[in-house]
Amino acid sequence: MKKESVAMTESLKRKLMSADEAVKMIPDGATVQIAGAALVCSSAKIFKNLGEAFLSTGHPRDLCIVSEGSPSSDVPGHKYFEHLVHPGLVKRVVGGHMGYHQPIFPLMKNNQIEGYNISQGVLSIMTSECVAGKDGYLTKVGLGTQQDPRHEGCKLNEGMETEDLVELRIVNDEEYLWFKMIRPDVTILKGSYADARGNITFEAEPSNNDAMASAMAVKNNGGKVIVYVKALKEERFHPRLVTIPYFLVDAIIVDPDHIQAAPHLAYSPYFSNEARCSEDEVQALIESETKNSVRKREIAQKIISRRAAMELKPDAVVNIGFGIPQMISGEALNLGIDMDAIVMTTETGVIGGVQLPSVFSVSMNADSVYDQASQFRFYEGGGLDIGFLGALEVDADGNVNVCKKGQRLAGVGGFNFIVHSAKKLVYCFPFMLGSGYNLEEGKLVAYDGREPKIVKSVESISMNAEVEFNNHKTVIYVTERCVFKLKEKGLELIEIAPGLDLQKDILDHLGFTPSVAEDMKEMPKVCFETE
């Protein structure tokens, strides 16, 4: 049936404005919630307008910036957090995943602004709890880690008095973490299109994140909802396609330069699952994306992800995390694993499909896309069988740090919920920072990295090995040189890469001596095939 053109309502006309005009709706001292996982559904483009407005007028100022993901990029022209470095513009930053917050991390390190790293799952679920006017959120997720007030209590500042946003509570003789509610005054979202009445659809986006809950929470808090869209449609959307109804929206910014997934990728209906693609098309897209990506994939990453893929089991409900784990879907296909027999999930609310190797939360041929908070609630209740995760560093006891190391900030993202949920945890990371293999005369030759990733003690605990061992979790750590398993007393070496010397290539690079399994095996040779 041909769609009839529908006239734009007067209400919609009043809501249409530029980003500069929308910034004027943000008052001094506001708590501003920004959407996005990297550039997927990211509204952080408005940071440029915020920075310019502040430099010109001195307002808005003293803002609290809250984001569940890290809605930015390390690609020049898309490093949006660099626009927030002006003294006085931002007072506090609260983030879940914070990998692209790097430009403002020095301000936290120097105590010029307050910084908190709260689990992405906590922030996500708290958004939906905020809709209902709740005062906070009670959970067991994060006990014994940097989320716990007995450790860091989510704080990124040192030597500075800051507000406690989490406390330890005892309920029925059991320990819980209580997170204080964060109530946004403004939320800035990114959808696909607005119809003639101002209803917003996310049909061309790879995920929804928590768009609906964010808009409802802010409206119930008396705040403003600002939404970026790619274009206006002279029609009324089918109600099933509407993610945010018109009455929740205060401002609409039309941005034809809308990035769907990443700067190097053109819009594709496959990324939003508006269309399905064949297995050959999936392989071609993965190969093309890997070849043209700003983040090149190394031989070591292929080895790690292929070995990790061997942990997949039919009917397993699986989470694929950020970084090297994003390659697992593609490598599983290369190994002939039937991916239709695996339930693949990402914490942003995507079920099924094959994930792009270097763009998190973009899956082709997905089975379902729903809100992020529902996914995290499913995880919190124990819905995962296997979690594939990255690591900044791992220590002798088996503790894992994904939060921060030295001058680098990554943030825990959804990590804590995956660790809490999954019965098996598979960590995927290079043996050393920058280590790998060169292909020389048809043979793989290992080379060392710049610094160790397997250390005596981690800087920050994101997974408490003792807690998870006592929870009867199976935990393995996969690198391109060897594989470890968590035992009662810490790491045990269970596999070594073909052709490597145990002492020279492994033990000499560790600041401790791990136990070595009596039946230590060779990593499967298929992991090292370069074709």
Structure tokens at 501: 């010397």
| Whole-Å CA distances, 98 to 110, 119, 140 | 17, 10, 22
Choose among 125, 163, 166: nearest CA to 142.
166
Local structure of 426: helix, strand or coil: strand
Tell me how far apart the alpha carbons of residues 429 and 392 are, in angstroms, rounded to a whole number: 8
Which residue do the tokens 């800051």 mark? 162
DSSP 511: S
Choose among 88, 215, 93: nearest CA to 80.
93
CA angle 357, 430, 409 (to 5 degrees): 80
Structure tokens at 477: 């750590």
**CA atoms in the 13 A half-sphere facing the CB of 94:** 28
Cβ pair 346, 387 in contact under 8 A? no
Cβ pair 309, 331 in contact under 8 A? yes
Provide the residue count of the chain: 531
Enzyme catalytic residues = 347
Write out the DSSP string of 124-156. Answer: HHHHHHHHTT-SEEEESTTTTSTTSTTTTTTB-
Tell me how far apart the alpha carbons of residues 49 and 32 are, in angstroms, rounded to a whole number: 14
Tell me how far apart the alpha carbons of residues 487 and 468 are, in angstroms, rounded to a whole number: 11
Structure tokens at 295: 């983040």
Tell me how far apart the alpha carbons of residues 380 and 374 are, in angstroms, rounded to a whole number: 10
Strands 451-452 and 436-440: unpaired
